[in-house]
Chains A and B, each alone.
Chain A
């Protein structure tokens, strides 16, 4: 560091080379520094959680009613997470796509207003989304429910789907749109049969990233689906979810059994999220190649 301070004031090419080298070293150090937590977190969760994966009971049994007791599994949380995320996707994907297509193909004041709302949503803390759903759905219904949790997750997913769909739809080449018009194809026809298929892998990537975002969310579920220690698929009842289970057991991590369950569930959740994420990115990578061939 001291030598660098001296060399800064010597305008020779050697000084510049030293600074260049220092820059490279610092940049690599920064990358290593940032990747240390990634390796540390995943390594730690893996080392501690893999023990839970040795028995199939981990996904076939529910947690014991006494959270300090060992044994049992996370079936209720896994099923709740899958069910709520699936319902959220069924709502968020078509709606998110509709807004993206509307913003691009129709435009106007309504489109701008909706896009502004989506931008606001994209930056909104997910816990605020939970409050939105609590003050409307939960208060109106009078109780927590899987349905409210699904709605909160759908709102979290929506901006991810819309923003990424809009990005890829914008990339569809203009000459193709013009050719479609010249051949007498109606606009909705060209959107449904031309642009959407062309942008499909990009849209799917957005959907997968949206799902991987929603599936790991805890904050919006705390006061919508609440969590449930029992197995249930009724969306009208409070519903368990993997992140909620990890959160509860982390708060009780002084107990060995709760800690172990949290590790196992965290590993399961992380693997699901990483899998969805990498699958989405792999699809985008392929899209570029396919696009250039078209």
Chain B
């Protein structure tokens, strides 16, 4: 008696259940898709708006003319980005030269040498360096680091600097070099974190084989870790470069703010990011705000290229399993 009625009821219940499940999934997916689509459109529109706002400057000076123009004189409506591109590249390069060896050694210490108990706390301490707000580094750099480094800069400028103008006077304190040192402090944790991750992924078996053959930890690093982790190290360096290129406030406070290309690394200058931050709120001359936004688009293109390179290197290295940083 019960069976014939139970089966259709069950079937009907199951059907309703399926339908609800299906509509539930569909709604869920649609909501996610709409959110994702909206965000993508908004972000793409914002990027496009920056280029549109900057376009009068590009039309006026030409893309190549704007980028290679070495004179920035808002009161004469002359805008060239080269002094700032130069400052950005120079400070980032100084930062890399100082930070990469230190960061790599720290990564090796934390993956190969340190006792297991110490690894996590030391790693967190290094990571905390990355958490200090940029403006706090700037404040410290301005009031402590710049005055402290000035005697060193003056010493170098007075000796080696006599032969090499690039290391010569003027030495007012705030400079490309000071900015490079602050940037170095700021990118050590980034470079070290990525390197650490890459080094930890090198095969355990080969490391142990070297140790079994009587090799030291250094032999492990020399023959296994570094050769295998090479691509990852490169990705870490490129990523650190990308971070240094975009750093704004700390650099603005210690670079000395000059529109001219400094002859020496001890001379004051500007980076792309710092000139935008410094001049934007007082930009009243013709095309001045547009020119600063155009500098922003240069920075945007630079950082997208740098990051794409880093992601490509790392994806090749890790087989694409790790996406994003």
Q: Contacts A45-B136, A117-B43, A126-B246 known; A34 to B300 CB distance under 8 Å?
A: no
Give per-residue flags for B214-258: 1 if the beta carbon is below 8 A from chain A beta carbons, else 0: 111111010000000000000000010010011111000100000
Count, A-B residue pairs, CB within 8 A: 269
Nearest CB of chain B from residue A254's CB, rounded to whole Å: 10
Contacts of B325 in A (CB 8 A): 119, 122-123, 163
Tell me the complex Cα distance, A266–B250, Å: 13
Report the minimum CB–CB distance from B178 to chain A (whole Å).
Answer: 13
Indicate if the CB atoms of B39 and A123 lie closer than 8 Å: no
Indicate if the CB atoms of A31 and B53 lie closer than 8 Å. Answer: no
A222 to B281 Cα, complex, angstroms: 8
Is B311 engaged at the interface, CB distance under 8 Å to the other chain?
yes
When the two chains form their complex, are residues B299 and A127 in contact, meaning their CB atoms are under 8 A apart?
A: yes
Residues of A within 8 A of B105 (CB): 26-27, 29-31
Are A269 and B136 neighbours in the complex by a CB distance under 8 Å?
A: yes
Report whether B46 and A133 are in contact in the complex, using a CB–CB cutoff of 8 Å: yes
CA distance A249 to B49 in the complex (A): 32
Q: Closest B-chain residue to A159, C-beta based?
A: B324
Binds A, one of B1-9, B28-36, B56-64, B149-157: B28-36
Q: Bound complex: CA of A166 vs CA of B325, how far in Å? A: 11
- CB pair A101–B32 under 8 Å, yes or no, is yes
Q: Would you call A114 an interface residue if the criterion is a C-beta within 8 Å of the partner chain's C-beta atoms? A: yes
- Is A257 located at the chain interface by the 8 A CB criterion? no
A152–B133 alpha-carbon span in the complex (Å): 16
Contacts of A146 in B (CB 8 A): none
Asked if A247 lies at the interface with its beta carbon under 8 angstroms from chain B, I say: yes
Complex CA gap A155/B43 in Å reads 9
Known contacts A159-B324, A184-B17, A250-B135, A99 near B35 by CB under 8 Å: yes
Contacts of B280 in A (CB 8 A): 222-223
- Among the listed A117, A124, A127, A281, which residue makes an inter-chain contact with B277, where contact means beta carbons less than 8 Å apart? A127
Q: List A contacts of B189 (CB < 8 A).
A: 34
Determine the distance from Cα of A262 to Cα of B188 in the docked complex, in whole angstroms: 25
Digitize A32-45: 1 where CB-to-B-CB distance is under 8 Å, 0 elsewhere: 01110110111011
* Interface of chain A residues 183 through 232 with chain B (CB within 8 A): 184, 186-189, 191, 212, 215-219, 222-223, 226
Task: Type the 1/0 row for A132-147, where 1 means its CB is closer than 8 Å to any CB of B.
Answer: 1111100100000000
Taking A37-B129, A114-B40 as contacts, is the C-beta distance between A247 and B32 under 8 angstroms? no
**Complex contacts, A118 vs chain B, CB 8 Å:** 324
In the assembled complex, how far is the CB of residue B95 from the closest CB belonging to chain A, in whole angstroms? Answer: 13
Of residues A34, A35, A45, A226, which shows the largest number of chain B Cβ atoms within 10 Å of its Cβ? Answer: A34
- Return the contact of A186 from the options B25, B47, B102 (Cβ within 8 A): B25
Once the chains bind, are B276 and A253 in contact (CB under 8 Å)?
no
Q: Are A136 and B49 in contact (CB under 8 A)?
A: yes
The interface residues of chain B lying within 8 Å CB-to-CB of A226 are 281
Interface string of A240-266 (1 = CB under 8 A from B): 000100110011010000010011001
Instruction: Give residues 98-137 of B contacting A (CB, 8 Å).
Output: 101-103, 105-106, 108-109, 113, 120, 122, 124-129, 131-137
Q: Is A131 an interface residue (CB 8 A)?
A: yes
- Is A70 part of the binding interface, using a Cβ–Cβ cutoff of 8 Å? no
Q: Is the CB of A136 within 8 A of B133?
A: no
CA distance A80 to B105 in the complex (A): 41
| Interface contact A41-B140, CB-CB below 8 Å | yes
Complex: how many Å from CA A212 to CA B127? 13
Bound-state CA distance A136–B53 (Å) is: 10
Query: Which residues of B have CB within 8 Å of A251?
Result: 253
Q: In the complex, how many angstroms separate the beta carbon of B239 from the nearest chain A beta carbon?
A: 8
Question: In the complex, what distance in Å separates the CA atom of A253 from the CA atom of B12?
Answer: 76
Q: How far is the CA of A125 from the CA of B301 in the complex (A)?
A: 11
Q: What's the minimum C-beta distance from B188 to chain A, rounded to whole angstroms?
A: 5
Q: Mark B264-298, 1 if CB is under 8 A from A, else 0.
A: 00000000010011001100000000000100100
Say yes or no for B306: interface residue by CB 8 A criterion.
yes
B201 at the interface (CB under 8 A from A): no
In the complex, B24 has a CB within 8 A of chain A: yes
B144 CB-CB contact with A under 8 Å: yes
Contact partner of B35 (CB less than 8 A), chosen from A35, A98, A122, A166, is: A98
Determine the distance from Cα of A28 to Cα of B113 in the docked complex, in whole angstroms: 10
Between A and B, 30 residue pairs with Cβ closer than 8 Å are A13-B214, A16-B219, A23-B221, A26-B105, A30-B103, A31-B122, A33-B102, A38-B132, A94-B35, A102-B36, A106-B29, A110-B40, A122-B324, A126-B248, A127-B248, A127-B299, A128-B50, A132-B43, A132-B50, A135-B50, A163-B324, A189-B21, A191-B28, A216-B133, A216-B136, A218-B134, A250-B253, A251-B253, A269-B136, A278-B128
- Chain B residues packing against A (C-beta within 8 Å): 17, 21-22, 24-25, 27-29, 31-33, 35-37, 39-40, 43-47, 49-50, 52-53, 101-103, 105-106, 108-109, 113, 120, 122, 124-129, 131-140, 142-144, 185, 188-189, 192, 214-219, 221, 239, 242, 245-249, 253, 273, 276-277, 280-281, 293, 296, 299-300, 303-304, 306-307, 310-311, 323-325
| In the A-B complex, the 6 residue pairs with the closest CB atoms | A125-B246, A216-B133, A123-B307, A188-B28, A30-B105, A20-B216
Interface residues, chain A, with chain B CB atoms under 8 Å away: 13, 16-17, 19-20, 22-24, 26-31, 33-35, 37-38, 40-42, 44-45, 94-95, 98-99, 101-102, 105-106, 110-111, 113-115, 117-128, 131-136, 139, 155, 158-159, 162-163, 166, 184, 186-189, 191, 212, 215-219, 222-223, 226, 243, 246-247, 250-251, 253, 259, 262-263, 266, 269-270, 273-274, 277-278, 281, 285
**Further contacts, 7 of them, CB under 8 A, given A123-B310, A155-B43:** A16-B218, A125-B299, A131-B293, A166-B323, A187-B25, A246-B135, A285-B120
